Amino acid sequence: MTLRLHTPRLLLRPVREGDLDTMLAIRNAPAVVSTTGTGQALPRERMAGQLSRRCASWRDHGLGSWLVLLDGDPVAFVEVTPIGEGSGVAPDAIEIGVVVHPDHWGKGFALEAGSAAARDLFERLGHERVYAGVDPDNEKSLRALAKAPGVRRIDDELYEVTAGAFLDQPGNSGAGEPGGDVRSRP
């Protein structure tokens, strides 16, 4: 089964081991690097380790990170991972994070792709909530999050979206809004 999410403009598919160079090109684009805490490019071997874990998550749990394609070309990825220790919520709670290649910032792709991934967690997998961690100094990230359907701020660094709040948003019942017109295809 090959899972795909279709939004009005984008296609999301599960990441694969062969996506390493593509994901590095997005993650290590200078404008993205400058938004990270360290201000450093992610070393190839660390990205390879992360990607292996994402692929294992798809195999073992049926969820994981997505590569985002526009007309067949990669423009972003959406991380869907356990939030881990230190966030104040259960470490196995699911967190979504979006990284868009800077060539495609300012087109609404983060909201569209992130909403599609959240909808998949709620509708296909029955999750009740999803989290997004944020650096309070990252203005673009805060603006994208503020528009997420049904989002609630927990503290400066953590936001939550519940299935109920997300699906209750006007126009977000399956079509029309960013990420709303999403169809999973086997």
- Return the H-helix or E-strand segment holding 164: helix 163-168
Closest CB 14 distance from ligand COA, rounded Å: 19
Closest CB 39 distance from ligand COA, rounded Å: 12
Q: Rounded to an integer, what distance in angstroms lies between the CA atom of residue 167 and that of residue 2?
A: 25
- Cβ-closest residue to ligand COA? 108
22 lies in the site for ligand COA, by CB under 6 A? no
Residues 6+ apart with CB under 8 A from 49: none
Q: Rounded to an integer, what distance in angstroms lies between the CA atom of residue 61 and that of residue 147?
A: 29
Among residues 55, 63, 83, 98, the one that binds ligand COA under rule CB under 6 A: 98
Q: Rounded to an integer, what distance in angstroms lies between the CA atom of residue 115 and that of residue 154?
A: 19
Q: Rounded to an integer, what distance in angstroms lies between the CA atom of residue 70 and that of residue 52?
A: 24
Among residues 10, 24, 67, 111, the one that binds ligand COA under rule CB under 6 A: 111
H helices of 8-98, in order, are 20-27, 30-33, 44-61
Question: Site residues for ligand COA, window 133-152 (CB under 6 A)?
Answer: 134, 138, 140-141, 143-144, 147
Site stretch for ligand COA (CB under 6 A), options 46-54, 63-71, 92-100, 154-162: 92-100
Among residues 108, 127, 158, 165, the one that binds ligand COA under rule CB under 6 A: 108
Which residues of this chain interact with ligand COA, rule CB under 6 A? 32, 35, 97-100, 105-111, 134, 138, 140-141, 143-144, 147, 178
